[in-house]
Amino acid sequence: MSEWTFIALLLVTAFIFPAIPIVAGTLLGPRKPNEMKNSTYECGVETVGDTWVQFKVQYYIFALVFLVFDIELIFLYPWAVAYNQLPLFGIVAGVVFIITLAEALVYAWRKGALEWL
């Protein structure tokens, strides 16, 4: 059961750890509220207009296409680092992976996903 004790300890610590600065801040910090401080924090800039606006669906498609490169990068980086220790299979697997992703890109490109309308 000793492994579980560590997990339980970790859980307790995880709750206490963020609680300490919050409580300490409330107890120790000076309190001088003004209008600016009480406003909702939104990246420093106040919201202009209604937030319920429709976004162009193309943002979504672009984000999806971006995933092609994102995933490619994440997997190819360790692959490239270990490249000179890989057997033939490692190379083949990497190439198949790149071809699969490239195919997705070709598909999206040809379907016009990269045209901004």
**Footprint of other proteins on this chain (CB under 8 A)?**
86-90, 92, 99-100, 103, 106-107, 110-111
Instruction: Give the nearest distance from C-beta 73 to other proteins in angstroms.
Output: 21
92 or 114, CB closer to other proteins? 92
5 or 26, CB closer to other proteins? 5
- From first CA to last CA, the distance across the chain in angstroms is 60
d(CA 42, CA 36): 12
Q: How far is CA 13 from the centre of its chain?
A: 25
Instruction: Give the nearest distance from C-beta 100 to other proteins in angstroms.
Output: 7
Instruction: Give the nearest distance from C-beta 111 to other proteins in angstroms.
Output: 7
DSSP H/E element including 110: helix 88-110
d(CA 59, CA 83): 35
10 or 102, CB closer to other proteins? 102
In the block, residue with structure tokens 């379907």: 111
